[in-house]
Amino acid sequence: MQSDVYELARAVENDHWWFRGRRAVLRAALTATLGRSASASILEVGCGNGGNLPLLREFGQVWAVESDAQAHDAASARGVATVQPGTLPDGLPVANRRFDLIALLDVLEHIEADREAIRAVRERLAPAGALLVTVPAYNWLWTRHDDLSHHLRRYTRRSLTTVLTKAGCTVDYISYFNTALFPLAVVRTVLDRAAPSSDPLAPLTIPPSPINTALAATFGAERLFIPRLPLPFGVSLLAIARRDGRPFEGR
């Protein structure tokens, strides 16, 4: 991800509707997966600026891995997790530790060897541990923001399921999300292609407060469905998976 994208994300992630709505959905998924005891061991791989670390800390002790030095320092400065440099699939610094939950939150789309990356984190799961993954959905929703974020792909439910299962995981739950606002994403994609001179970082601008609040509430309301019922389409995908004991099948 480009440094200006990291900087802008850090500036808006506490208040921007997209981050607020996603955290509401993630909290529901974490509660269903880990309960409310705040005693889990948790690893976030690719934590970026650390915007999700305070949320994860609600559920237990948190470790994190981040490859970008600027983002690593920002995440570490939050003081809520042990943050180490590292990469996927071959550079995780936590080989001697096993975790109750490992989170890859909009990370897998940045990694060429996505199946090998899942296998690497699967090996760091405790026997009953869970993997929480979010990714952007549908290649046809590709915009210049994907380019600036250095995405390699977007996923469908089928393609993400294939990556997880071929890496030796059992998928407990998978769903699209950010469904209610899906029409806005389609419009944004059309406008992005029709106006190539427009600012590709515009989606990270916080809209006026009433609109920002309404969008956050609309997105966050999907916590009532996730992870109970799968949603049929959306801007993103969320999966909860576990290691199933099968060997890695290779690419």
pLDDT of residue 203: 79
pLDDT of residue 9: 80
pLDDT of residue 148: 87
The domain spans of the chain are 3-243
Coil, helix or strand at residue 219:
helix
Q: Are 251 and 217 in contact (CB under 8 A)?
A: no
Rounded-to-integer distance, Cα 27 and Cα 124, Å: 22
Q: Rounded to 5 degrees, what are φ and ψ at 185?
A: -65, -40
pLDDT of residue 182: 98
Q: Are 141 and 178 in contact (CB under 8 A)?
A: no
Digitized pLDDT (tens) for each residue of the chain, 251 residues in all: 555 677 778 889 999 999 999 999 999 999 999 998 889 999 999 999 999 999 999 999 999 999 999 999 999 999 999 999 999 999 999 888 999 999 999 999 999 999 999 999 999 999 999 999 999 999 999 998 899 889 999 999 999 999 999 999 999 999 999 999 999 999 999 988 888 767 777 778 999 999 999 999 999 999 999 999 999 999 999 999 998 765 545 43
CATH code for the domain defined by 3-243 = 3.40.50.150
Neighbours of 44 (CB within 10 A): 27
Residue type, position 182, single letter:
F
pLDDT of residue 204: 80
